[in-house]
Chains A and B, each alone.
Chain A
Amino acid sequence: MNRDNGTAHGAGDAPAVEVRGLVKAYGDRTVVHGLTFQVRAGAVTGFLGPNGAGKSTTLRMILGLDRPTAGEVLVAGRPYGRLVEPLHHVGALLDAGAAHPGRTARDHLLCIAHAGRMPRARVDEVLEQVGLESAARRRVGGFSLGMRQRLGIAAALLGDPEVLILDEPVNGLDPEGIRWLRHFLKGLAARGRAVLISSHLMTETALLADRLVVIGRGRLLADVSMAEFAAEHGRSRVRVRADEPERLREALVRKGLRVVPGDGGALEVYAAEAADVGRIAAHERAAVLELVQVEDSLEEAFMRMTADSVEYGGRPLGEVV
């Protein structure tokens, strides 16, 4: 790795962030269990998991704020603490409330800019980029949550970093702000930057991310492209309503399909195509009143995936087989 000598934007095809076997334990409570994944340049990676999955802890370890119990994180090939100009490699927003309420937006950014030897003009540039130029001389205490998020994003952008890490950036943003963020992050990724955004909501992540890293209880559950995830987990089912549901149900079950009673006397047929269900119904001479193909939403797929991890982690000792 002699390519990297502390200069920015020299990542080539090496991963922008490499997480290797990361473990974090507080006493006997382990919150991150051997996490391994990579954040690649040129893509927005969604870092997804329910609250308490270990997302923020992992992000803090990437930034060298928390010390891993085991494993390591490399940014541009080296631990964060050994980066010569860290702000040019990684820009991070961990907590929108981290700015002192008594400081002006501009002074808050200046404190960071000075540490990274960046000129004052850079502060005005990022304020303009996030749309806060008119609030530059106002105290942060009077900012809305959305404005604080924008200020936090401005701080992350100061060093024009190769990697942008945003913890729950959508929190507090209005729909206009979310649209702005989406275009903004996609634009950064298109220019070859790596973007990592954490979230506990699938729907908002699906709008922003190209790739997904899903964790539950500190374990990696999926590391796939958004499209792969949708194809793999957006399970489809068929809702059918017939005048003699019991007879139809028996026929479907005989064909090896999983059938669950739905609302209003309907049957939910899992992993099936509407055409097949229709044919079976015709064969049974059942009058079909409703026949719909239902695609599972990604949110449901995500909930199901993480619910499993919660189930495994939370099963009482007595029930372990």
Chain B
Amino acid sequence: MSVNAVLRSEWTKIRSVRPVLWSLPLAAALLVGIGAGVTGTVGPEEADGPGFDPVQLGYYGILFAHVVVIVFAVLVVGNEYQHGAIRVSLAAVPRRGLMYTAKLAVGAVLALVAGVVASLGTFFLSQRLLGEHGMAFGDAGTVRAIAVGALYFPLLAVMCMGFTAMLRSLMLSMGVLVPVLFLVSPVLAEIPGLKELAWYLPDRAGQYGLRLDPAVAAPYSPMAGVLVMAVWAAAAAVGGWLTLRTRDA
């Protein structure tokens, strides 16, 4: 068993199924494209309005792009739980920790590449489209926002891959993760009593760092939001590992 061999095998699994391969480029395109669409139509009067945040507006597409990142992550792990494919994989790589780590690593690196490209593209294109209302690279908070935008994809992907390994089902994972992150989280944030709790949901925590000026007071700093998200990702990854390690395949 060699680590490189298993990494190569996991990359081949991703590369050889079209929806998996194209999901990350699609997510990047959505982030850049929707950001461009929104910033390109903003007039000066809106830019002068209260609470206008040019960077946050540029990253508006995250609400849609992250659903596609979830789909990517759920497919990467969930495909193993369709029709007993996991048995073929584990017969080839009986060291479960090696297979699992390689799978998460390949998925995370691909999501990071997509995140870096998408975040840079989104920032520069959206700020250029905002013209005089846009920010320049290096202005306070911009580098942090770009970094958070780049890390958002891989952290979300790792979390969703871990959850799928815990649930051991593609359909179940898709059915839980997509609605929870797409609908429940935004709704929860609007309910007064639960608003404080909603700050600790992974997507809310991660997206907090995409604001230029954290005027809406979260109980933590923008970078700490990324840490909250990382804790979610780590917990899910460990949970997935414990499930894979102990359960019969």
A residues near B (Cβ < 8 Å) are 60, 63-67, 80-81, 83-87, 90, 92, 94-95, 97-100, 102-104, 107-108, 110-112, 114-117, 155
Contact = CB atoms under 8 A, between A and B. Distances in A.
A100 B8 contact: no
Nearest to A61: B248
A67 B248 contact: yes
B91 A92 contact: yes
Interface residues of B, number: 29
B16 A87 contact: no
B3 to A, nearest CB: 11
A103 B84 contact: no
Given A94-B84, A102-B18, 5 more contacts: A64-B91, A67-B248, A100-B17, A114-B8, A115-B9
Nearest to A93: B88
Given A98-B88, A100-B17, A107-B16, A115 B94 contact: no
B248 A114 contact: no
A227 to B, nearest CB: 33
7 contacts: A85-B1, A94-B91, A102-B18, A103-B17, A111-B9, A111-B89, A112-B9
A90 B91 contact: yes
Nearest to A165: B91
Contacts, number: 90
Contacts of B93: 115
A123 to B, nearest CB: 11
Most buried by A among B1, B16, B88, B95: B88
Given A84-B1, A87-B92, A65 B12 contact: no
Contacts of B19: 102
Interface string B75-118: 00001001111011111111100000000000000000000000
Interface of B: 1-2, 5-6, 8-9, 12-13, 15-19, 79, 82-85, 87-95, 248-249
B12 A111 contact: yes
A208 B231 CA distance: 55
A63 B5 contact: no
Contacts of B5: 114-117
A294 B17 CA distance: 57
A69 to B, nearest CB: 11
Contact of A83 (B13, B17, B94): B94
B26 to A, nearest CB: 16
A21 B84 CA distance: 26
B165 to A, nearest CB: 16
A67 B248 CA distance: 6
Nearest to A62: B91
A83 B91 CA distance: 11
Contacts of A99: 83, 85, 88
Most buried by B among A100, A104, A111: A111
A94 B87 contact: yes
A86 B87 CA distance: 13
B17 A102 contact: yes
Contacts of B90: 63-65
Nearest to B13: A111
A87 B19 CA distance: 29
A114 B91 contact: no
Contacts of B13: 111
Given A65-B87, A95-B83, A102-B18, A110 B12 contact: yes
Contacts of A108: 16
A60 B83 contact: no
